[in-house]
Amino acid sequence: MRIGLLGGAFNPPHLGHLKLAELALRHLNLDELRFVPTAISPHKSNTDALDSGARLALLQAALKGFPGPVKIEMAELDRGGTSYCAETLETLAEREPEGEWILVLGSDQLPGLPKWHRFTRVTELASVAVAARPDFPGALPDPLKSRERPHWSGAPGEIVWLPGTELPFASTALRLGLSRLSDQAALVEGIPPQVMAVIAAENYYRD
Q: What pTM value is reported for the model?
A: 0.94
Cα torsion angle, 91, 109, 199, 81, sign: positive
Distance CA 186, CA 193 (A): 9
User: Distance between CA 207 and CA 192 in Å, rounded?
Assistant: 21
pLDDT, tens digit, for every residue of 104-127? 999 999 999 999 999 999 999 999
Enumerate residues 6+ apart whose C-beta is below 8 A from 89: 101, 121, 122, 125, 126
Domains in the chain: ranges and CATH = 2-168 (3.40.50.620)
φ, ψ of residue 9 in degrees (nearest 5) = -75, -30
- Identify the CA nearest to 2 among candidates 27, 20, 19: 27
Residue 184 has pLDDT above 70, yes or no: no
Q: Tell me the C-alpha distance between 193 and 79, whole Å.
A: 31
pLDDT in tens, 52-102: 999 999 999 999 999 999 999 999 999 999 999 999 999 999 999 999 999
CB contact set of 205 (below 8 Å; sequence gap of 6+):
12, 50, 175, 178, 179, 199
The answer for residues whose C-beta is within 8 angstroms of residue 104's C-beta and 6 or more apart is: 4, 5, 6, 20, 21, 23, 24, 28, 33, 129, 131, 162
